[in-house]
Amino acid sequence: MNKNMKNYSVNKTINLLINKYRKKNNKFSYPLLDDAFSNNDLSKGIKVILSGQLTMSKETKNFEKLFAKKIKAKYAVMVNSGSSANLLATFAACNPMRKKRFKKGDEVLIPALCWSTSLWPLVQSGLKPKFVDVDPYTLNVNSKDLIKKITNKTKVIMIIHALGNSSEIDLISNYAKKKNIILIEDTCESLGSKYKGKSLGTFGDFGTYSFYYSHQISSGEGGMIVCNNRADYDLLQSLRSHGWTRNLSNRKKIEKKYPNLDNRFIFANSGFNLRPTDISASIGNNQFKRLSKFKNIRKKNRDKIISGLKKSKKWKNQYNFFKINKNIDPSFFGFPIFLSKRYSHKKFSLIKYLNKKGIENRPIISGNFLNQPSAKLYKFKQKAKDFPNAQIVQERGFFIGLHAKPINKFQLKLIVDSLLSF
């Protein structure tokens, strides 16, 4: 059997198995994401399993190269989740091997509307958070308000690009460079979004991304960090894998200093095991090639839902919509909805109603994070009441999914009728 015939036979067998054992999510009529993985995505993952090279091999390297090229960053490092990406970026930014680094006790600015693993790596590395309020309808910090809160103690800014949107990130980035402040962009919800033609995540020292199942692309679990500095790239690779020297550009120089150590296992730094599998990388890589297609379909689906709601005069009294910041070319995965002030007390009733109708939904990030029980374990000087806009998002906001394939008439009618009939 020649190579082409063998590949055809393997592909046919894999597709037969996928079609036989694949199960649909029947819990929701309109889930956050419908059919996260195509047959081709699953086929890529199965082929990796059959190859026996499961952990961070050629598939991971190929994905990293393609990702960096498309995002227009010099370097990309894949990890096992978006949360791990934030963890790794934070610990790289304070590492003794980095010339420009923050120290314990330094101040970090972060939106009050944030995710758990955007905040806690900063706290765990010794930073003191200073929370900043957000615009309740763009979900992002006001850049001018953020800059006003910068003091001599501010050494780090963590920007969170929420649901495909952004603040004036160029203004923040320029100010951070001027003041020698480390800028980390949490872009886990905004892969594919651009500000003035430049990809979000590429303005700061580090940009992080997530490939969770309901995000712009999915590898099940997975994440990526981008940077533009070779030394940072070396550092990220070392910290990702135990702190060993294998991926350092000066590996041989270090090895010569320690001739009595096995050069396969020389640990030049602290580290973690945040390595991805090649299974995730192969699926993520395959989906990433379709990101532009997904982006366009999601935009069209969003327009259809808005158009459907606006056919009724009723929506104006009940709901407000997400506002896209100027200069943003957004990449969505969710459709945020805000109850009008007069109906804010009915949010949980609405969520239960949507669940009953089969429409899966989620809160916007984690709401005003200072309300979370974990925040109460730490003696933050600021309180939840200090951030009224983040509180508005928590009390009145939620989102439903925007699928990566065209919404059908049944789904559109279900969403529109359910929202308007409540």
**Assigned architecture for domain 291-421:** Alpha-Beta Complex (3.90)
* Residue 156 CB neighbours (<10 A): 25
pLDDT of 185: 98
**Which are the contacts of 26, defined by CB distance < 8 A and separation ≥ 6?**
none
pLDDT per position as a tens digit, 279-325? 999 999 999 999 999 999 999 999 999 999 999 888 888 898 889 99
Query: Among all residues, which ones are annotated catalytic?
Result: 215
Q: What angle do CA 64, 68, 73 make, to 5 degrees?
A: 145
pLDDT of 34: 85
Q: What angle do CA 289, 205, 110 make, to 5 degrees?
A: 100
pLDDT of 174: 96
pLDDT of 2: 62
Q: CA-CA distance, 171 to 192, in Å (whole number)? A: 20
Report which of 114, 99, 107 is spatially closest to residue 128, judged by C-alpha positions: 107
pLDDT of 9: 65
Instruction: Give 85's pLDDT tier (boundaries 50, 70, 90).
Output: very high
Stretch(es) of the chain classified as CATH 3.40.640.10 = 46-288
**Which are the contacts of 151, defined by CB distance < 8 A and separation ≥ 6?**
107
Inter-residue contact 416 to 361 (CB < 8 Å): no
**Assigned architecture for domain 46-288:** 3-Layer(aba) Sandwich (3.40)
Q: What angle do CA 372, 378, 379 make, to 5 degrees?
A: 115
Q: CA-CA distance, 119 to 125, in Å (whole number)? A: 10
More confident of the two residues 195 and 7: 195
Query: Residue 157 is encoded by which pair of tokens?
Result: 């800014």
Query: Residue 69 is encoded by which pair of tokens?
Result: 């090229």
pLDDT of 77: 98
pTM of the model: 0.94
